[in-house]
């Protein structure tokens, strides 16, 4: 029998935890009840976790509770929180992963603290200068991987090339049957557009473009992120963060106005199709940003998401390990350095 997929879960981070995290675990266990290929290592105050496991009526051989007395505090500054983070549930997750007892870590706690702790414990890969925060973003035909979403405010051309390799590896681990198509986010599609950094990165990506690795599709503009023409959208962390949040704000604005517009009769008549519409755009489905570039993957769940969103994050962790992300990343980076 092959090794089990082992996921370290910080049960204490985010709003309404550990209720939502443990309920998320329950949903995951239900959806995967026919499988025996994983183990969930749950980090948090043991008595509290046990209480919630009882509350949600969970009984499974696939979970293990690892007592962590303290929790990363939301009341401190990120700097102070990092300083006091040793032996918190978040810290213990990453340490467990470093020791080879988990393949991936998941937390809904403070993003900055998680990024710093992960980098401190797991360390950067030798081949990568800066880690990236990658997210899933729906497009016409399926899902995009967009990175960086905010780990690095300023990036040089080599960072962008690394992000293309890392993002393609993530995409291949999640959607092995699809081809990664990379684009650089820019203000126009012509070669002369954008900063010098983008122009240099674009030339280099054109050289790296290959059938095994990724196809480079050139520049993409903001209005085409969801067109499906490319599925790996590469940008610096400042632009990526603004783009993602602007899309979120726009979606919220439109759906709010729509709700006000639809009559009750109309909602009744369209109940099923509106449900399908809502399901497709449900942000809980693509909850989870992935830190790439460290010696092991770490997933950050949205702090304010509910148990269904947290379940989707656990599921994302499961898929990432099953798709053997780290092997994909090493293969991609080797290719990148050889061209």
Binding site for a copy of itself (CB under 8 A): 138, 140, 150, 153-154, 185, 187, 194-195, 221-227, 235, 237-239, 241-255, 257-258, 260-263, 265-267, 269-270, 273-274, 276-277, 280-281
* DSSP per-residue codes, 124-169: B-TT-SS-EEEEEEEETTEEEEEE-SSS-SS--HHHHHHHHHHHHH
Name the minimum Å distance from CB 90 to a copy of itself. 20
Name the minimum Å distance from CB 328 to a copy of itself. 28
Among 132, 116, 48, which Cα is nearest to 81's? 116
Contact 182, 213 (CB under 8 A): no
Name the minimum Å distance from CB 17 to a copy of itself. 22
Name the minimum Å distance from CB 261 to a copy of itself. 4
Name the minimum Å distance from CB 276 to a copy of itself. 6
Q: What is the DSSP letter of 99?
A: T
Contact 164, 292 (CB under 8 A): no
Q: Which residue in the block uniquely carries the two structure tokens 């992120």?
A: 225
CA-to-CA distance for 227 and 220, rounded, in angstroms? Answer: 10
Name the minimum Å distance from CB 123 to a copy of itself. 25
Q: Which residues contact 275 (CB under 8 A, 6 or more apart)?
A: none
Contact 272, 112 (CB under 8 A): no
* DSSP per-residue codes, 43-54: EE-HHHHHHHHH
Whichever of 4 and 199 has its CB closer to a copy of itself, that residue is: 199
Whichever of 124 and 267 has its CB closer to a copy of itself, that residue is: 267
Measured at the alpha carbon of residue 253, what is the angle toward residues 249 and 258, in degrees to the nearest 5?
Answer: 150
Whichever of 280 and 337 has its CB closer to a copy of itself, that residue is: 280
Name the minimum Å distance from CB 224 to a copy of itself. 6
Whichever of 137 and 171 has its CB closer to a copy of itself, that residue is: 137
Structure tokens at 240: 């990526």
How many separate helices (H) and strands (E) can be counted in the chain? 12, 11
Whichever of 133 and 321 has its CB closer to a copy of itself, that residue is: 133
Name the minimum Å distance from CB 39 to a copy of itself. 36
Whichever of 87 and 266 has its CB closer to a copy of itself, that residue is: 266
Whichever of 153 and 339 has its CB closer to a copy of itself, that residue is: 153
Whichever of 38 and 219 has its CB closer to a copy of itself, that residue is: 219
Contact 130, 159 (CB under 8 A): yes
């Amino acid at each position: 029998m092959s090794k089990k997929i082992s996921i370290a879960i910080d049960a204490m981070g985010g709003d309404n935890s550990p209720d939502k995290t443990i309920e998320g675990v329950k949903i995951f266990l239900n959806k995967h009840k026919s499988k025996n290929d994983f183990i969930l290592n749950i980090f948090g105050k043991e008595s509290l976790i046990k209480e919630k496991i009882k509350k949600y009526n969970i009984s499974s051989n696939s979970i293990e509770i690892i007592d962590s007395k303290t929790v990363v505090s939301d009341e401190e500054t990120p700097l102070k929180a990092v300083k006091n983070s040793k032996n918190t549930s978040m810290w213990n997750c990453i340490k467990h992963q470093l020791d080879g007892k988990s393949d991936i870590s998941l937390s809904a706690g403070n993003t900055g603290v998680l990024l710093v702790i992960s980098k401190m414990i797991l360390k950067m890969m030798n081949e990568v200068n800066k880690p990236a925060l990658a997210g899933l973003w729906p497009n016409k035909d399926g899902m995009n991987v967009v990175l960086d979403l905010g780990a690095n405010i300023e990036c040089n051309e080599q960072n962008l090339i690394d992000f293309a390799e890392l993002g393609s590896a993530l995409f291949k681990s999640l959607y092995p049957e699809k081809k990664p198509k990379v684009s650089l986010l820019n203000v126009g599609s012509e070669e002369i557009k954008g900063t010098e950094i983008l122009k240099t990165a674009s030339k280099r990506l054109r050289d790296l473009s290959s059938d095994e690795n990724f196809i480079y599709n050139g520049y993409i503009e903001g209005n085409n992120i969801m067109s499906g023409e490319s599925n790996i959208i590469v940008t610096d962390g400042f632009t990526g963060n603004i783009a993602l949040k602007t899309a979120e704000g726009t979606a919220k604005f439109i759906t709010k106005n729509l709700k006000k517009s639809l009559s009750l009769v109309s909602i009744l008549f369209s109940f099923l199709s509106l449900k399908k519409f809502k399901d497709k755009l449900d942000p809980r489905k693509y909850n989870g940003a992935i830190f790439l570039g460290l010696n092991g993957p770490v997933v950050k769940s949205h702090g304010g998401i509910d148990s269904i969103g947290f379940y989707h994050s656990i599921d994302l962790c499961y898929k990432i390990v099953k798709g053997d992300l780290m092997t994909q990343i090493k293969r991609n980076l080797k290719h990148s350095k050889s061209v």
